[in-house]
Chain A
C-alpha cells in the first residue's frame, strides 16, 4: 500500500501537468492522463528505474456512452414491472457521465519493482484518435489493432492498423455501446444460390432477459477509496 502511495506521489511529481486525475482504489493505482502527453509519460514510465514498467500487459478501449444508465429505474416506487423481451430505451434517463465518450486504458507491469499501474486516456467522440505506443512497447501492436477494430479508435503512428478480430469486410465497431448485441448482418448458406449469403439480421430479435438495474447499496457507501 505504501508502495502505491509512493508511486502515486512520484508520478504526480514527475508528470503533474499531464495527469488530470489520479486515484488508488481496490489496491490499484489509476492515472488519468492527457492524451497529448501519453507518449512522453510512457517513455518515462518505461525507462526511469524507479518505474521500470517493462511490460505492457494490456490495452483496451472503453465506450462510456451508457455509463450509469439503467434499463429499469428502481430508485422510486413504480406501479410497473419490467417487461421481458423489450428493446432497451434510454430516452428518459439522465446522463451523469461528464467526461469524453471513449477512453483507452493501458495496464503496465514492472518486474523489477513488482508493481502495476493503470493509465487511462480519454479521446474525443468525433474523431477518436490517440498516439500509438507500438515503438515504446511492441506488445501494443495487436492490442491497438483490437481496440481499433472493436471501438474504432485510431492509433496514430501504428505501422499496420488493420482489423483483427472481425470478419473480412465487416462494417462498424461492434463493442461500441450503440452497436446492437445481435449485430447488423448475418450469414447463411443459400441452397438455391449455392453460396453463402450476407443479409440483414432477421432470424433473431433483441431481448433483455434480466434488466440492468443500479441499486445504491449502503454497504458500499464510503468504500470507494477502499484499498
Chain B
C-alpha cells in the first residue's frame, strides 16, 4: 500500500457560464493538466431562442427585428443579410441612395462591434482603461443609430426594398437640467447643430486620432504583447478547414473579404484596403481589427460625401412589398388597401431558395431562406460568423495556459446572441 504511486488525474472544471471573461453565456468545460489546458469543451445554447423557428411563424418583415438580437453588437449588419436574402428571392434592388446608407451604417456597425470587442478583450487581459475609451466613442455612434431609427441598439432600420426612412436633417440635442448647466450642454451640442451627416462627418474626423490613442496604449505595450503574441496561433490551412471567415481568417494571412471579392450594394465603388495578418495569433487578429477601424472610417467618409451630393428616394416604389406613405393613404383607396394587406398579411415571396452573405464585423454572416410561396419563410437558417469560430476554440487553446484561454476567447470576438441564435 505504501509503495503505490499517488494517482494523478487531470482536473476538469467549469469556466462560466457566469464568468465575466466568457463574454456572455459560454459554459466552457476545461480539462487541465496543472495549468495547461488539455481539452476545452464549449457548451453553448444557453441563449438559444429558436429565432429560426420563430421566423417560420411570422410574416417576413416581422423577423427583421429578431435579426438585430442575434449578434447584438452589430445589429444592422444582421438585418442587412436577411433583407438581402429577401430581395434576392423577390428580385428587387433598392435605390442607390439606400445602398449607400446601408453601406455607411454597416461600417458604423463594424466600428461599433470592434469598439466593444476592443474594450471587452482588453478588459479581459488587464487593460482596464480601454473599456472606458471605447464606450465613449460607442456613445456617438449609438446616437447615430438613434437619430436614424429611434432606437439605440435594435434598429430594425433596413427593409426589403431600401431603408425605413431617409437620414434626418437634425440631430437630437442635450437639454439643460439641474445636473448639467447650459454652458456644459452647449459644449456637448456643438457637433449636433447640423444634420446627421454633419455629425457623422465630425466623428470620422475625430476618430482616427482616437484609434491612434488606442494603439499608443496597446500596440507596443509590453504586457499586451506578452499576453497576445504567439497565443492561439491559427494557420491559414486550419483556418480554412475550420470554416473561419472575417478578421479571424484575415489574421491568419488569407486576404478574403466579401466586400471586395463578392461585392454587394455599392462596395465596388468605394476604395478601401483589406488588412491581413501574418502569423494568425491573437496579436495579429488585434492588428487586423485595428486597421479595419481606419478602413471603415474611410468608407464612412466616402459615403457621407456621396450622400450629401445625391438626394433621392431611399425605398423602392412598389406597394406590393413596401407600405405606402401615410399621406397617400389619406387620399388613395389603392394605398389604403395595400397598407391593410401588408400589415395584416405581409407579402408572399416566390417559391425558391436564396443564400445571401455579407461581410459582417465577425466574418461571413449568411441567411439561407427557403420559401414555399407563402407570406412566411418556410425555413430560415442563419449562418452565424462566430459559430465555426467557437467550434475552433478547442483546437486553439490546447496546450495553452488557463489565462491564455481568456486571451483567445477575447481575440475571436464571440457573441452568444448569434452563436446560439
A residues near B, CB below 8 A? 25-28, 30, 54-58, 60, 62-63, 66-68, 70, 105, 107, 109, 111, 114, 116, 118, 137-139, 141-143, 164-167, 174-175, 181, 208, 210-217, 219-220, 223-224, 226
A28 to B368, CA, bound (A): 12
Q: List 29 A-B contacts (CB under 8 A).
A: A26-B352, A26-B354, A28-B353, A30-B353, A54-B241, A57-B357, A60-B379, A66-B378, A67-B378, A68-B372, A105-B368, A111-B254, A114-B261, A118-B353, A141-B391, A142-B388, A142-B391, A143-B388, A165-B44, A165-B45, A174-B50, A175-B50, A175-B53, A181-B53, A181-B54, A210-B376, A216-B373, A220-B350, A223-B91
Q: Are B45 and A167 in contact (CB under 8 A)?
A: yes
Q: Are A118 and B355 in contact (CB under 8 A)?
A: yes
Q: Which 6 A-B pairs have the closest CB atoms?
A: A139-B243, A220-B350, A165-B45, A142-B391, A60-B381, A58-B383
Q: For residue A28, which residue of chain B has the nearest CB?
A: B355
A174 to B91, CA, bound (A): 32
Q: Are A54 and B240 in contact (CB under 8 A)?
A: yes
Q: Give chain A's interface secondary structure class.
A: loop
Within 8 A of A (CB), among B295-320: 320
Known: A142-B391, A210-B345, A217-B350. A181 touches B373 (CB 8 A): no
Seed contacts A57-B383, A139-B243, A210-B346; 20 additional CB < 8 Å A-B pairs: A26-B91, A26-B353, A27-B88, A30-B353, A55-B243, A56-B243, A58-B383, A68-B373, A70-B374, A138-B243, A139-B391, A142-B390, A181-B53, A181-B57, A210-B345, A210-B375, A214-B373, A214-B374, A220-B351, A224-B351
B52 at the interface (CB under 8 A from A): yes
A186 to B256, CA, bound (A): 44
Within 8 A of A (CB), among B44-58: 44-45, 48, 50, 52-54, 57-58
Q: Are A62 and B370 in contact (CB under 8 A)?
A: yes
Q: Are B242 and A139 in contact (CB under 8 A)?
A: yes
Q: Which residues of A contact B383 (CB under 8 A)?
A: 57-58, 107
Distance of B340 from chain A, by nearest CB (Å): 13
Q: For residue A23, which residue of chain B has the nearest CB?
A: B352
Q: Are B45 and A138 in contact (CB under 8 A)?
A: no
Q: Which residues of B contact A175 (CB under 8 A)?
A: 50, 52-53
Query: Which of A116, A208, A210, A212 sits near B344, CB closer than 8 Å?
Result: A210
Q: Which residues of B contact A118 (CB under 8 A)?
A: 353, 355
Known: A26-B89, A181-B53. A60 touches B241 (CB 8 A): no
Q: Are B379 and A62 in contact (CB under 8 A)?
A: yes
Q: Which residues of B contact A63 (CB under 8 A)?
A: 379
Known: A107-B383, A142-B391, A164-B45. A137 touches B355 (CB 8 A): no
Within 8 A of A (CB), among B367-417: 368, 370, 372-376, 378-379, 381, 383, 387-388, 390-391
Known: A210-B344, A226-B91. A57 touches B243 (CB 8 A): yes
Q: Are B352 and A57 in contact (CB under 8 A)?
A: no
B107 at the interface (CB under 8 A from A): no
A46 to B240, CA, bound (A): 12
Q: Are A55 and B240 in contact (CB under 8 A)?
A: yes
Known: A28-B355, A165-B45. A137 touches B241 (CB 8 A): yes
Q: For residue A115, which residue of chain B has the nearest CB?
A: B262
Q: Which residues of B contact A60 (CB under 8 A)?
A: 368, 379, 381
Of B261, B345, B420, most buried by chain A (CB within 10 Å of CB) is B345
Q: Are B381 and A58 in contact (CB under 8 A)?
A: yes
Q: Which residues of B contact A56 (CB under 8 A)?
A: 243
Q: Which residues of B contact A28 (CB under 8 A)?
A: 353-355
